[in-house]
Amino acid sequence: MRAFEYAAPTTKEQAVSLLGTQWGHAEVIAGGTDMLSLMKDDVVRPKRLVSIQQLQGLDGSSSSRGLEISAVTTLAELANNINVMKDYPALADAIDEAASPQIRNMATLGGNLCQRPRCWYFRGGYGLLPKDESGKDLAAAGNNRYHAILGNAGPAKFVSPSSIVPALIAYGAKIQLFGPKGTRELAIENFYVIPKSDGEREHDLKPNEIVTRVILPGADKNLKVAHYEVRQKAAFDWPLAVAAVALRMDGSRIQDARVVMGHVAPVPWISGEAANVLVSKNYSEDLARQAADAALTKATPLSQNAYKVQLARVAVKRAIVKAAGGTS
């Protein structure tokens, strides 16, 4: 790891002011589980680290807007939060499946949202849009078994790494950012972007912005949400495909639907096609299957990851079945 200087400010204003206006000078550290690995692998080389774990005034609260969660809440605290367990059980599920107990004790919600892709070419130092010395796209021509099957027409072939963001999107959560110009909020899905050229990141985050909160809309009794992920190992393994599904149900009739997939595209992937199949229909397992098929009709697998199309399809189907109250 290269040398850096370290600051642990107490206010978000100080934190932001300690960050630079360009990427590469300073990085934010919270739980550290991803940042330190990136630095040890020499992928990220900040000259300054700004810790935000001790910032004051980021406390969460429950209000008419819903549940506001501090970005520096650890994943373990979040999964064990009584309100989350009661009102957002699919989020608690997703967190319980994520990483390991130690990581959940360390990693923060904000850090989970901002963690960098696990693409092995990126982590090996070939860039987020990895190329060799001749400019050849390494992920497209190389080993892409864990790479994107959707949204991969451009140079970005990695997959968005968070396995809990799909559930947050399914619940309609918002992310709150703080920068020199103050606070801004956006739907979490809009926080993620597919980079098109070198130097762009996969988040809509300015170099001198920090994530301060996540806001979950108020509990909705009619909203049935489920998370399902396909993993090779029983625990402590990156998913091969993730799906989170929110169904607003009136009896067995689906009034509204949101189908989100993770680990399939450079961003969390919302499938309008799948939602269209579901909305205004009576739930059945067959309908779930049709929706799952629709979610993947536009998939464009790479040379070695066609199997992920099937896995994502199964994840979507099982998440729908689970959300609707059937067994997966």
Partner 1 sequence: MPDYSWPSPATSALIGKRVTRVDAPAKVSGHAQYTYDYHGKNMLFGKVVRSPYAKAKIVSIDVSAAEKMPGVKAVQIIQKAGSTVQWAGDEVVAVAAIDEATADDAARAIKIEYKKLAHLVSDAEPPAGAGEAAGPFSSDDIDDAIGNQLPDKQFIEALQQRGVSFKPEEDDLKDWADEGASDDVINAIRKAPFHNTEGQQPHSFFQKAAAQTQGDPDKAMAEAEVTSEGLYGATVIAHCCLESHGSVTEWPDKDHVFTHISTQNVSGIAGQMADPLEVPAANIRVHQDNMGGGFGSKFAADRWDIAAARLSKKAGGRPVRIMLERDAELQVAGARPSAYARVKVGAKKDGTLLAWQSTSWGTGGPGGGGMPPIPYIFSIPNKRAEHTTVRNNIGPARAWRAPNHPQAAMITMGALDDLAAKLNMSPLDLWIKNLDIAGPRKDTYREELGIAAELMDWSNKWKPRGTNLSSGIARGLGLSIHTWGGRGHNSDCDVTIHPDGSVEVKIGTQDIGTGTRTTIAIVVAETLGLPVEAINLYIGDTLYPPSGGSGGSTTPGGVSSSSRRAAVDAREALFAQVAPGLNAQANDLECVNGTVRVKSGPSRSLSWKQACSKLGAMPVTARGKNPDKSKPPDLTNSGVGGVSMADVAVDMETGVVQVKKMVAVQDCGLIIDLKTAESSCYGALVMGISYALFEEKLFDQQTGRMLNPNMEFYRLAGLNDIPELVVHMMTGKGYDERGVIGLGEPPVISPGAAISNAVANAIGVRVPILPITPDKVLAALSQSTRAGAQ
Partner 2 sequence: MPDDQSKTPESVGSGVSRRDFLKISSVSAAAVPVLGTRIVKASGAPVTVYGPGRVPVELNVNGQLHKLQIEPRMTLLDALRDELQITGAKRVCDRAECGACTVITDGKAVYACSVLAIAAQGKRITTIESVMQGEALHPIQTAFVENDASQCGFCTPGFVVALKAFLDQHPKATPDEIRRGLSGNLCRCGTYHGIQQAISQITQRGA
Which residues of this chain interact with partner 1, rule CB under 8 A? Answer: 1-3, 118, 120-121, 123-124, 126, 132, 136, 138, 141-143, 145-146, 230-238, 240, 304-305, 307, 310-311, 314
Chosen from partner 1, partner 2, none, partner binding at 271 (C-beta under 5 to 8 Å by type):
none
Closer to partner 2 at the Cβ: 89 or 207?
207
Closer to partner 1 at the Cβ: 124 or 154?
124
Output the smallest distance, CB 285 to partner 1, in A.
12
CA 226 centroid distance within chain: 15
Chosen from partner 1, partner 2, none, partner binding at 314 (C-beta under 5 to 8 Å by type):
partner 1
100-115 in b/e burial notation, b at 16+ Cβ within 10 A? Answer: eeebbebbbbbbbbbb
Cα torsion 42, 20, 73, 316: sign: negative
CA 179 to CA 133: how far, in whole Å? 36
Output the smallest distance, CB 161 to partner 1, in A.
11
Closer to partner 2 at the Cβ: 39 or 84?
39
> Dihedrals φ, ψ of 18, to 5°?
-85, -10
**Under 8 Å between Cβ of 202 and 160:** yes
**Under 8 Å between Cβ of 225 and 93:** no
Closer to partner 1 at the Cβ: 22 or 307?
307
Chosen from partner 1, partner 2, none, partner binding at 311 (C-beta under 5 to 8 Å by type):
partner 1
Closer to partner 1 at the Cβ: 185 or 237?
237
Which residues contact partner 2 (rule: CB under 8 A)? 1-9, 11, 13-21, 25-26, 29, 31-33, 36-37, 39-41, 47-49, 51, 53, 76, 99-103, 105-106, 208, 234-236
Chosen from partner 2, partner 1, none, partner binding at 4 (C-beta under 5 to 8 Å by type):
partner 2
**Under 8 Å between Cβ of 142 and 65:** no
Output the smallest distance, CB 218 to partner 2, in A.
30
Tokens of 108: 């923060």
Chosen from partner 2, partner 1, none, partner binding at 32 (C-beta under 5 to 8 Å by type):
partner 2
Assign 3-state DSSP to the chain and report helix, strand, coil percentages, each to 5: 30, 25, 45
Output the smallest distance, CB 114 to partner 1, in A.
18
- Compute how many other C-beta atoms are within 10 angstroms of the C-beta atom of residue 53: 18
Output the smallest distance, CB 25 to partner 2, in A.
6
Our CA dihedral for 159, 163, 69, 213, rounded to 10 degrees, sits at 0
